[in-house]
Amino acid sequence: GENVEQHPSTLSVQEGDSAVIKCTYSDSASNYFPWYKQELGKRPQLIIDIRSNVGEKKDQRIAVTLNKTAKHFSLHITETQPEDSAVYFCAASKISNFGNEKLTFGTGTRLTIIP
Amino acid sequence: EAQVTQNPRYLITVTGKKLTVTCSQNMNHEYMSWYRQDPGLGLRQIYYSMNVEVTDKGDVPEGYKVSRKEKRNFPLILESPSPNQTSLYFCASSLLAGQETQYFGPGTRLLVL
């Protein structure tokens, strides 16, 4: 099955600097890659996603890039702010052999913004 | 208000005592899923459902059962809970299967003694 690896597991950056989180996936048939943010004690929430027919997507300070050849995708957060402190999860999904879809998550990155 | 609800939010039980965690959504979503979250392991999919009466195994289905008799509800059943099922459980739903925003419930923290 699909395997998603996420690095780093923890990341600390100074407020105002950029943060980059990287994920790799194993199944070349995966075609949808969402990123979820989970604040302490809260539920995960989608912050951005990308589909395999697109190489990059931006939403204000957040961007995601996808390299299908290398099977990796990254989350970029610019001008980081204290409220960006959270755990971030990448994920990958595809149509399985039976037409259904599974979503496989990475193990998460705990991002800490240092004031 | 559009939402996914789970009950109970917290549960302490003993090994072998059957329990059910309910999940309900009011957004008319077709796709529903259960995840467990454990430190260092991220979110792992237990079961998912593409629509009523259609369910399939995720990555960690052992020890769990689900049913989808109506669109809005997707209960998670632990027939004989064991301590290794102590975890934080999330239900999620999306409008269509998989490739849409998944909306998560508030989570159920389960402790099996």
* Per-residue pLDDT tens digits of chain A, which is 115 residues long: 889 999 999 999 999 999 999 999 999 989 889 999 999 999 999 999 998 888 999 999 999 999 999 999 999 999 999 999 999 999 998 766 555 678 899 999 999 999 9
Interface of B with A (CB under 8 A): 31, 33, 35, 40-45, 48, 50, 54, 56, 58-59, 90, 97-99, 101-102, 104-107
The tokens for A101 are 């879809």
Answer yes or no: do A105 and B44 touch at CB < 8 A.
Answer: yes
pLDDT in tens, B13-30: 999 999 999 999 999 999
Answer yes or no: do A101 and B107 touch at CB < 8 A.
Answer: no
Confirm if A94 and A32 have CB atoms less than 8 A apart: yes
pLDDT in tens, B65-110: 999 999 999 999 999 999 999 999 999 999 876 667 899 999 999 9
d(CA B37, CA A41): 12
Confirm if B29 and B49 have CB atoms less than 8 A apart: no
d(CA A32, CA A53): 9
Q: Does A10 touch chain B (CB under 8 A)?
A: no
Phi then psi dihedrals of residue A83, to 5 deg:
-75, -5
Chain B residue at shortest CA distance from A3: B59
